[in-house]
Each structure stands twice: as C-alpha cells, then as structure tokens.
Chain A
Amino acid sequence: MDFLLWVRGPAFNVAVAIFVIGVVARLLEILLLGRAPSHSEPKGSQVGPGIAEIFKRSVPLPDIVKRGAVTLVGGYIFHIGLFITIFLFVPHIEFINSVFGVRWPGLPNPVVDAVTVVTMVALVVLLVHRIRQPVKRMLSTSEDYLTWLVTFLPILTGWLAYHRIVNPYPLVLGLHILSVELLMVVLPFTKLMHTFTVFISRWYNGAIYGRRGVQS
C-alpha cells in the first residue's frame, strides 16, 4: 500500500512537474529560435495551408502506402489504440474528471480491452520491424528502444491490472501508474516530444510550401 500511495502522491507530482516544465522548455527552445523574414512575393498564403497540412499529413501518398506498409499500418493502429486506451477507458475518464472536472463518454471495457491487445501487437510488430528493416535499424539508437519501452509498459501494466493477472492488485496498479510517470518524465527529452512538435513541424511544412503556391 505504501508503494501505491507513493506513486500516486509524491512521485506523481514530480513526474507531472518534469513533464510540464520539460514540454514548455522544449517548445520555447524551438520557437525562440525564430525564423528569418520572407521578402519574396508570396504566391499563396501560409496560414491556411499551414493549418491544413497538420491534418493532411496524416494521409500518406499512394506509393508510400505500398513501400512503407508495415510502418504506416502499424503506426496508425498503435496511435489510434493509444488514444482509445488513454482517453476512452472509463476509469481514465474518471481520473481526469477528478483532477480537471471534465468528463466525456467512454467505450465499454471489453472494447478497450480488445483495442489494448491490438495496440500491443502493433507495437511488437513495429519493434521487430525496427530491428529487421535495414533503414530503420540504421536510424535507430538506444533512444528508439527506450521510447518504445516506456510507451509499451503503461499499456502492458494497465492491461495486467485490468485483468487482475498480477497480485496483489495495488502492486500492479502502482506499477501501471509508475510506468506512466516514467513515460511523462522521458517524453519531453526524447523523440516522444513529437506528440507536441508534430503540430509545429507540419505547420511549417504547410506554410513554407503554401507560400510558394504548391497545392498539396
């Protein structure tokens, strides 16, 4: 019980503090670098295409669908799976409501359970692909495997806790919360930061090419 109290109390506060300060610091680190002003005659606007690109980038080019099928399909499944398991699982919504006082409808537990299994399978497939596919293996560093692990652990421990597979329950629930804290601490300082910066990078891409009048 002491362990559960600790992960829910001091450890959680520390993790949230590192997460929030880390994310804000990283965003400032990027945005404060600024950008040189443009003097060339624009052929299109930046704002519309910049915002549009944030959404449009989620749709891959047809020839890339064929060439990068595993990465794309696996990536889609686990991102959607993460969203569902994090935000549409009723106990998570209850927790968010207890902190922020907002709630929304969740999905039935058996559905979230199935999604969780699919998400874990997708992550395992992507890990194997990362190790075996030459381009990804070459690009990968220890950070890629660390981030895989800290993403996978909360899902695994959450699933174990839900099914009461590990006893006692407070231990596995504590491990689940601890794994989320680990994820929060690691996120701002690794490629997991793309959770936030993807909106900036897609925006810049859309703005750069939008200004040049390129219809993507």
Chain B
Amino acid sequence: MSSLTLERGLYDLKAAIDAPIASFFSSCVHCGLCAEACLFYVETGDPKYTPIRKLEPLRRVWEQEYTLFGKLKKLVGLSKAVTDDELEEWKELLYASCTMCGRCSQVCPVGNDIAYMVKKAREGMVSSGHAPAPLVGAATRAVKIGSPMGVKWPAVQNQIKHVEADTGLKIPVDVQGAEYMPLLSSMEIINFPEYLGALAKIFKQAGITWTLASKAFEATNAGHQIGSSDIERELVVRVVDEAERLGVKFVIGPECGHAFNAIRWDGPELIGRPYKFRVLHIIELLDQLRAEGRLKVDSKVTERLTFHDPCNMARKSGIVNEQRNLLGMVATNFVDMPDNGIHNWCCGGGGGANSMEEYEHLRLKAFGRKRWQLESVEPELLVTACANCRLTIEEGLEHYKMEIPIAGLTEMIAEHLKEDESAA
C-alpha cells in the first residue's frame, strides 16, 4: 500500500464512472430532497450531510473528464481540480456520515442511485490514501489473517466444540458434496455465538446436509465496506474457490447485511462470471424451509415485538416478506415500525461507519431516527437479522437508556423449534 497517491485516486474515480453515474449527475437538479431521506442530515440538520454533496469530488471528475463543457472549462483553466485536502475533508462525508443505506437512492425524484455512487467514490478514496484508518486496518487483517476482526479458524473450532457440547449436534466441516455452505461473520463469531448453534438445530430439523468451510468461513467483506474492488474480489474468491471445490449447491449468507450484498451481488461482477452455486440469505433459506413445511415450532414468542429491516437485506436485496412470514410462524404479537421494509431507516452503523470510533457521537445522534421508530411502537423485543445492525442498535439503546432486548431472527426460530421433530 505504498503507492497511494492523488493521481491513482483520480484515475480510479474516473474509471468508476459509467453510463448510470453520468446520467445521475446529468439529471441532478439540486432539489435537496435526498437530504430529507438521510438519517445523518435529518437528525443533525447540518446541510453538509446532504447525500448528493458527498459526491462532489466524483461529480467534478465526471464533469471535467466526460462532458464537453467540462473539458472546455478545464482547458481554459476555469475548473477546480480535486485535491488531496478536499478528499481528506470528504472522508467524513463518504464514510462516517454515509452507511450506503440507499434510502436517498429511493427518494431522489430523478432516480439517482446515490448509494451506488458513494460505493464507487470510495474506490478513489482508498487508492488516494484517504480511506479511514480503522477500515484500512480491517481490510489489511482480512487479507492477511482472513478476518477483519482477526478471527482465525482455531477460534471457530473452539466455538464448534462449545456448540457441539451444548447441542449434542455435530458441526460438519469441509464436507465434500454437502448441499449448503453457510458463512459466518466475525461479529457473530465474537459477539453472537448463538448463531452457529441455531444453524445446527435448524438444519437438523430440516434434514439438510451442510458444511462449514475451514478456509472460507468468513463472510465479512472489508473490501466491500472500504470500497476497494481489489480487496472485495480477493475475499469473494476465497469463498467461491472453497464452495466450488466442495461442490456445494448453495452458499448461505449470514445475518450480516453487507457480507450478503458482497457475496450475492458484487461477487459475480467482480470475478467476471456467474458462480457454480447459488447464494441465499439465511432468512431466504429459512422462509423456503418454512414454506415447504420443514421448519416447525412448538412455542411462540408472545411479547410485543418489531423487526428492524437491515438495508442490505430489504432495500438492496428485496428480502422483506420472508422475515415477516417467519415472524408470523414464531411470534403472536408482531407489529411493524413506521417506515418499515424497503423504507426502513438505517441503524447508522453500516458500510463500515460502525468501526470509526471518533464519529461515535455522530452515529448516536443519527440513531435518533431509530429511536423515533421504536418509540412509535414501543416494542418489548426488537428482532433483526444483521449482527452489525444489532451491535449498533445495542449501543444506541444503551446511550438513550432504552431497555429493549434485541434478538437475531435465526436464533429466535431455533429456540422455538419443535424438539422431537427430525427429518434426518
């Protein structure tokens, strides 16, 4: 990483611009409505957080490189070049105050996919050396160690031992020809170890063959978060290689939004070919199993509960009804928050924002949206399906002294599974 320069950054910004981006910039009328969709603007009232403004460096590169008028202006010295100082200033705007949640993309009257552009703009931030240090650290660990949080296989093995002791079930590892290969996220391994046990119980009941891959257990993709397609590709390839070597039919994305987005949508584009397997989010799989009658519960949650739709799952992948179907099966008192589903407000910690400690105050301020949503329905339990959302929301709830327990949907279902049911 010694050659991070402004030139490389500008080159990558230029390379990132495609027909959609050119049409988006051409269509922007500066109406400012994207700000009204952004939790960082809505909660702080600071206009600098207006989503389209976060793309000002990318916009100028587009204007100067790809428009006739911009090229003329550049020729006669009327345009302002993008500088290192500017990119440094934009670090806060492109990372700390943007989770790429895509709510602005949904609101823009001319249809600009602003989140798509932010992801592309981050490419230039990485290669010009202006990506945030915590994300650079995570990406470096991911490439060198295999996990952004430094989790190595022995740590997972250790957890497997615990889960096997607790559940009495065998956790299959590196099984050739298994049907399903679930991925885990570092955050689940460290903070929410219940997930692995939940998978074991559910898969046992559903009677499906599955395996963890010791060389590709990690779903977290630090390359996706930081915005480096090279790193994102390298991390995707690890999963693809193992999944294709083991010959699995399905790779299962974990309860981690961006990890699913990276393997489901970005991966094939990055490696330039379709996979030899399909990718499903764990919630998509669980809903399929439910629909096929292979998932049965013998008790239900009776507390008043609500569901936080992770952006990458709902708004970016169209997974909205699946979690509601599952909640219908396992809960008796489910109530939706205002602005739910694809209109949900982000937790405020996605897209790597969560790892930037110095902006914790901003994150907590932006959490005001979630607070408002929660106060509108006053749930006794909050369910979600993203470890990162869960952690961010836990921090927010603690800060605002709101006592609402949070559960992951997968483990909630596992807890209520009919005990004696076994198709195996």
**Residues of A participating in the B interface, judged by any CB pair closer than 8 Å:** 25-26, 29-41, 43-44, 53-54, 57-58, 60-61, 63-64, 67-68, 71-72, 75, 130, 133-141, 144, 189, 191, 193-194, 197-198, 200-206, 208-209, 212-216
Residue pair B111, A204 in contact (C-beta under 8 Å): yes
**B106: contacting residue among A25, A33, A216, CB under 8 A:** A216
Cα separation A207 to B20 with both chains bound (whole Å): 10
Q: A87 to chain B: closest CB distance in Å?
A: 21
Does B33 reach chain A (CB closer than 8 Å)? yes
Cα separation A158 to B291 with both chains bound (whole Å): 64
Residue pair A75, B109 in contact (C-beta under 8 Å): yes
Specify which chain A residues have a CB less than 8 angstroms from the CB of B53 in the assembled complex: 138-139
Cα separation A105 to B178 with both chains bound (whole Å): 69
Residue of B nearest to A59 (CB): B109
Q: A43-B317, A194-B28 are in contact. Are A205 and B343 (CB under 8 A)?
A: no
Specify which chain B residues have a CB less than 8 angstroms from the CB of A54 in the assembled complex: 111
Cα separation A167 to B390 with both chains bound (whole Å): 71
Residue-wise interface mask of B (19-36) relative to A, using a CB-CB cutoff of 8 A (1 in contact, 0 not): 111111011111111011
Residue pair B36, A64 in contact (C-beta under 8 Å): yes
Q: A208-B116, A214-B318, A216-B106 are in contact. Are A194 and B27 (CB under 8 A)?
A: yes
Residue pair B30, A33 in contact (C-beta under 8 Å): no
Does B298 reach chain A (CB closer than 8 Å)? no
**B107: contacting residue among A32, A38, A39, A64, CB under 8 A:** A64
Residue of A nearest to B284 (CB): A43
Specify which chain A residues have a CB less than 8 angstroms from the CB of B47 in the assembled complex: 134-135, 137-139
Specify which chain A residues have a CB less than 8 angstroms from the CB of B192 in the assembled complex: none
Cα separation A208 to B113 with both chains bound (whole Å): 9
Residue of A nearest to B37 (CB): A64
Residue pair B26, A214 in contact (C-beta under 8 Å): no
Residue pair B265, A212 in contact (C-beta under 8 Å): yes
Q: A193-B26, A194-B110 are in contact. Are A44 and B318 (CB under 8 A)?
A: yes
Residue pair B66, A41 in contact (C-beta under 8 Å): no
Specify which chain B residues have a CB less than 8 angstroms from the CB of A58 in the assembled complex: 109
Cα separation A72 to B23 with both chains bound (whole Å): 22
Specify which chain B residues have a CB less than 8 angstroms from the CB of A44 in the assembled complex: 318
Surface stretch bound by A, among B273-281, B299-307, B348-356: B273-281
**Residues of B participating in the A interface, judged by any CB pair closer than 8 Å:** 17-24, 26-33, 35-37, 41-42, 45, 47-48, 50, 52-53, 66-69, 105-113, 116, 264-269, 271-275, 278-279, 314-318, 320, 339, 342-343
Cα separation A116 to B271 with both chains bound (whole Å): 55
| A interface majority secondary structure | helix
**B20: contacting residue among A64, A133, A140, A204, CB under 8 A:** A204
Residue pair B111, A53 in contact (C-beta under 8 Å): yes
Specify which chain B residues have a CB less than 8 angstroms from the CB of A43 in the assembled complex: 317-318
**B110: contacting residue among A26, A60, A144, A198, CB under 8 A:** A198
Residue of B nearest to A33 (CB): B19
Residue pair B318, A144 in contact (C-beta under 8 Å): no
**B18: contacting residue among A34, A63, A72, A205, CB under 8 A:** A34
Specify which chain B residues have a CB less than 8 angstroms from the CB of A141 in the assembled complex: 30
Q: A161 to chain B: closest CB distance in Å?
A: 28
Residue pair B111, A31 in contact (C-beta under 8 Å): no
Residue pair B20, A201 in contact (C-beta under 8 Å): yes
Residue pair A139, B318 in contact (C-beta under 8 Å): no
25 A-B residue pairs with Cβ-Cβ distance under 8 Å, sorted by A, are: A33-B18, A33-B19, A33-B66, A34-B18, A39-B269, A39-B273, A40-B266, A61-B106, A68-B36, A71-B32, A71-B33, A135-B50, A139-B53, A141-B30, A191-B27, A194-B29, A200-B19, A202-B111, A204-B23, A204-B113, A205-B111, A205-B112, A213-B317, A213-B318, A215-B342
Residue pair A201, B33 in contact (C-beta under 8 Å): no
Residue pair A197, B317 in contact (C-beta under 8 Å): no
Specify which chain B residues have a CB less than 8 angstroms from the CB of A137 in the assembled complex: 47
Q: A16 to chain B: closest CB distance in Å?
A: 19
**A67: contacting residue among B22, B29, B36, CB under 8 A:** B36
Specify which chain B residues have a CB less than 8 angstroms from the CB of A41 in the assembled complex: 268, 274-275, 278-279
Residue pair B107, A201 in contact (C-beta under 8 Å): no
Residue pair A60, B32 in contact (C-beta under 8 Å): no
Residue of B nearest to A50 (CB): B111
10 cross-chain pairs, A with B, having the tightest CB-CB distances, nearest first:
A202-B111, A213-B318, A39-B268, A205-B111, A135-B32, A67-B36, A214-B318, A200-B23, A204-B20, A201-B27
Residue pair B20, A208 in contact (C-beta under 8 Å): yes
Cα separation A130 to B107 with both chains bound (whole Å): 19
Residue pair A57, B26 in contact (C-beta under 8 Å): no
Q: A197-B26, A215-B318, A215-B342 are in contact. Are A57 and B109 (CB under 8 A)?
A: yes
Residue of B nearest to A205 (CB): B111
Residue pair A40, B269 in contact (C-beta under 8 Å): yes
Cα separation A197 to B23 with both chains bound (whole Å): 6
Q: A32 to chain B: closest CB distance in Å?
A: 8
**B113: contacting residue among A31, A61, A205, CB under 8 A:** A205
